[in-house]
């Protein structure tokens, strides 16, 4: 099978996470490097690379757990150092 080296025709447009702590969640996502587009009490929209938007949706009932996606960065080691310096605990 030959690999296709052309740019894919589709991408992920929106990723949704629920939160019961909107302000703290927005602050955390911005610390990770996302750009805030809209900040509201029930929904906040942050932009990631490639035009993907993270929609934070307010919910009174949130089950804590891992996000259902991984983030991508250019320099893994630099990002790890930067996030650690911010007091966050990125995984190895």
**pLDDT one-digit tens code per residue, 6-51:** 888 888 889 999 999 999 999 999 999 999 999 999 999 999 988 8
Q: Does the residue 80 lie in any domain?
A: yes
Q: How many domains, the chain?
A: 1
* Number of CB atoms found within 10 A of residue 39's CB: 14
Report the phi/psi class of residue 57: left, alpha or beta, with left for phi > 0 and alpha for psi in -120 to 50. Answer: beta
Does the pLDDT of residue 90 top 90, yes or no? no
Report pLDDT for 27: 95
pLDDT of residue 3: 84
Q: 1 lies in a domain?
A: no
Q: Is the pTM of this model over 0.85?
A: no
- As a whole number, the mean pLDDT across the chain is 91
Distance CA 26, CA 21 (A): 9
Range of the domain at 27: 14-58+72-85
Assigned domain for 8 exists: no
> 1 pLDDT exceeds 80?
no
Residue 30 within a domain: yes
CATH number of the domain where residue 47 is located: 3.10.180.10
């Amino acid at each position: 099978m030959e690999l296709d080296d052309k740019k894919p025709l589709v991408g992920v447009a929106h990723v949704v996470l629920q939160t019961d702590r909107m302000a703290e969640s927005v602050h955390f996502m911005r610390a990770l490097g996302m750009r805030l587009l809209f900040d509201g009490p029930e929904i906040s929209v942050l932009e990631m690379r490639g035009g993907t938007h993270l929609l934070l949706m307010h919910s009174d009932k949130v089950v804590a757990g891992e996000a259902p996606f991984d983030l991508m960065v250019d320099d893994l080691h630099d990002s790890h150092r930067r996030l650690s310096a911010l007091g966050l605990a990125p995984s190895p």
